[in-house]
Amino acid sequence: MKQRGFTLLELISTLCLTVVMSVLMLASWMHFKEEKEAAILIQDIKTAIQYAKNKAVNESRTLVLVPLEHNWSSGMKLIDPDILKEEESTLHQWRWFVKIWQLKWQGFSGDEVLYISGQTNALTNGQFVLEQKVTHKQIKLTLNRIGRIKES
């Protein structure tokens, strides 16, 4: 009588090969996810600064970018410093849902505020630092006076 099917050795070797390939794919996927999350966050920061700069210049007044909930990793909001009520002073808000990266602002006017003047060449100098929470890899976004961002 002829038996059909796989031997135990064939099944175990196939299972081991599948597990090894899955582990390699998972590591590659995590690295891909980390890089994409950083790229999206960097683009969102650039967009927010460009929007704030354009709005300040168009309206010829100083505006301020501040962190949401005192945490830059949560997002930022553009406010008018001349309006005292917080809910009325918010002009625009950006919210981020980053899990892998922590975002910090280190500026000359403090870590909680980024001033954007209505003049074309007057922003707060400083840098955003993205730090990966596990490996502590850092990406620095340096902001100069005219609003250009250099990534390093």
The answer to whether residues 68 and 95 touch, using CB atoms and an 8 Å cutoff, is: yes
Q: How far apart are CA 42 and CA 127, in angstroms?
A: 12
pTM: 0.81
User: For residue range 53-76, what is the model confidence (pLDDT) as tens digits?
Assistant: 999 999 999 999 999 999 999 999
Delimit the domains of the chain by residue range: 10-151
Confidence check: pLDDT of 78 > 90: yes
Fold assignment, 10-151:
minor pseudopilin epsh fold (3.55.40)
* DSSP per residue, 46-96: HHHHHHHHHHHHHHTS-EEEEEETTEEEEEEEEE-TT--SHHHHEEEEEE-
Mean pLDDT of 90-97: 92
Helix, strand or coil for residue 144? coil
Distance CA 141, CA 43 (A): 11
